[in-house]
């Protein structure tokens, strides 16, 4: 298949390109490299040294003989170029990763909120409008998030996208399925909720064939293909805005930084290893809905964990100290989470779990590149409200305190 991978230079996009290229698909990466610019804005870099996208593609060709094509297009701002590109290349499938994906970054300031909404909603809508206009009948696979469901404890398993409800009609009680009511916890998660409505409309109005993957937090860094050459290495975010919780705990442990648990750590979240993430995308690609069918929704996760349990697990393995910090986010302090993922299991997913020794591999990667870590970028300081901002802990290591007491000793 000819596959357009929008956002193919990112953390999940890059290993997906390699995985699908390895399966003999013709891969076209479309990316505006905005994530690299955000690193520059934040004054931070990936833990792992990433080459330019052109260089990564060159190395892949050298290692495997396979070509990856790169196209620099901003999906949100360059509608005509996107439309022209689709009309010219007419992909069989499109995988859409190309959004601003960090909740803390989306809550940093009003400017970051505006950017996230403009970027994400325009990127998705431009793509849908251009697909209709060009008549490109590609299967669109979008990376959504488990966060659209919200984290209220409802005492029932979260279904895959649709909730059966009973309604009173004039003919008595009837059952129907509705999109699970969204309860996003950040501006970023809100844009993923808006995406769902866009998909529902275009599937129903234009018969677009769409799969929305409600993905949990992705952990890990290497996949089978990124291991093949040092310069194919994947991005690894550790900073307070883009680093996700388990990967952060692992790098913190590797550099002797306290594990930064927000609040009581009672938040329960869904997780998936990067290797399973790319495998799920392969499985979803092969299971396209028909034109006229409703959007197919999968929960792309393999296990759930409570944040403090993860911290304690990492602390036990590595001897790290756990720091319970004021939570910069507005979120439930404690929640339960039970999630259905039957569809991927039925399609043959064999989950990689935390138990399988891969935690050590990440600590090793972090130790290897520890010299690239700027400790001042580790604290999570983007707060959800002004009130929470006033309580953020900017110095979980207590270095300021130490230097003052050191100075007076």
From the list 192, 257, 296, 369, the catalytic residue is 192
Q: Could you tell which of ligand USQ, ligand NAD, none binds residue 267, using a CB distance below 5 to 8 A set by kind?
A: ligand USQ
145 binds ligand USQ (CB under 6 A): yes
The residue (of 21 and 34) whose beta carbon lies closer to ligand USQ is: 34
Instruction: Tell me the per-residue interface mask from 238 to 277 with ligand NAD, x by CB under 6 A, - otherwise.
Output: ------x---------------------------------
Min CB(400)–ligand NAD separation in Å: 31
HEC-encoded secondary structure of the chain? CEEEEECCCCCCHHHHHHHHHHCCCEEEEEECCHHHHHHHHHCCCCCCCCCCHHHHHHHHHHHHCCCEEEEECCCCCCHHHHHHHHHHHCCCEEEECCCCCCHHHHCCCHHHHHHHHHHHHHHHHHHHHHHHHHCCCCEEEEEEEHHHHCCCCCCCCECCCEEEEEEEECCEEEEEEEECCCCCCCHHHHHHHHHHHHHHHHHHHHCCEEEEEEECEEECCCCCCHHHCHHHCCCCCCCCCCCCHHHHHHHHHHCCCCEEEECCCECEEEEEEHHHHHHHHHHHHCCCCCCCCCCEEEEECCEEEEHHHHHHHHHHHHCCCEEEECCCCCCCCECCCCECCHHHHHHCCCCCCHHHCHHHHHHHHHHHCHHHCCHHHCCCCCCCCHHHHCCCCCCCCCHHHHHHHHHHC
Per CB under 6 A, 194 contacts ligand NAD? no
Q: Which is nearer to ligand NAD, 10 or 258 (CB)?
A: 10
- Near ligand NAD by CB under 6 A, which window of 212-220, 257-265, 287-295, 329-337? 212-220
Question: Is 145 among the catalytic positions?
Answer: yes
Say how many residues touch ligand NAD, by CB under 6 A.
28
Candidates 60-68, 74-82, 148-156, 340-348: pick the segment binding ligand NAD (CB under 6 A). 74-82
If binding is defined by CB under 6 A, does position 297 make contact with ligand USQ? no
| Residues at the site binding ligand NAD, with contacts judged by CB under 6 A | 7, 9-13, 31-35, 74-76, 97-101, 119, 123, 143, 145, 215, 217-218, 235, 244
| Residues at the site binding ligand USQ, with contacts judged by CB under 6 A | 101-103, 145-147, 216-217, 244-245, 248, 260-262, 267, 269-270, 307, 327, 329, 331, 380
């Amino acid at each position: 298949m000819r596959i357009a991978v929008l956002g193919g230079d990112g953390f999940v996009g890059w290993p997906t390109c390699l995985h699908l290229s390895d399966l003999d698909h013709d891969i076209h990466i479309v990316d505006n490299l905005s994530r690299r610019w955000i690193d520059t804005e934040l004054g931070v870099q990936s833990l792992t040294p990433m080459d330019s996208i052109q260089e990564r593609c060159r190395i892949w060709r050298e290692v495997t003989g396979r070509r990856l094509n790169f196209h620099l297009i901003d999906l949100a701002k360059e509608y005509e170029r996107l439309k022209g590109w689709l009309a010219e290349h007419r992909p069989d499938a499109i995988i859409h990763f190309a959004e601003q994906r960090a909740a803390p970054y989306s809550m940093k300031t009003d400017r970051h909120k505006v950017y996230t909404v403009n970027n994400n909603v325009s990127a998705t809508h431009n793509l849908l409008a251009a697909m209709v206009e060009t008549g490109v009948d590609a299967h669109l696979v979008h990376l959504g998030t488990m966060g659209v469901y919200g984290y209220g404890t409802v005492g029932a398993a979260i279904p895959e996208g649709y909730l059966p409800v009973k309604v009173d009609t004039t003919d008595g009680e009837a059952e129907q399925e509705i999109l699970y009511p969204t309860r996003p916890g950040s501006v970023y998660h809100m844009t993923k909720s808006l995406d769902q409505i866009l998909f529902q409309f275009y599937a129903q109005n234009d018969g677009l064939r769409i799969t929305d993957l409600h993905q949990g937090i992705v952990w890990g860094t290497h996949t089978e293909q990124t291991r093949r050459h040092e310069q194919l290495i994947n991005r690894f975010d550790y900073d307070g805005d883009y680093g996700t919780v388990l990967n952060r705990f692992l790098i913190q442990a590797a550099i002797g930084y306290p594990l930064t648990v927000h609040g009581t750590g009672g938040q329960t979240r869904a997780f998936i290893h990067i290797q399973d993430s790319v495998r799920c995308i392969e499985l979803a690609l092969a299971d396209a809905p028909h034109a006229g069918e409703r959007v197919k929704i999968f929960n792309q996760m393999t296990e759930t964990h409570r944040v403090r349990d993860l911290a304690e697990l990492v602390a036990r393995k590595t001897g790290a100290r756990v720091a319970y910090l004021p939570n910069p986010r507005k979120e439930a302090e404690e929640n339960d989470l039970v999630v259905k993922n039957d569809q991927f299991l039925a399609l043959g997913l064999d989950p990689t779990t935390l138990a399988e020794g891969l935690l050590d591999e990440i600590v090793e990667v972090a130790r290897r590149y520890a010299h690239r870590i700027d400790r001042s970028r580790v604290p999570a300081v983007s707060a959800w409200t002004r009130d929470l901002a006033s309580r953020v802990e900017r110095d979980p290591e207590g270095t300021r305190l130490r230097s003052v007491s050191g100075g007076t000793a």
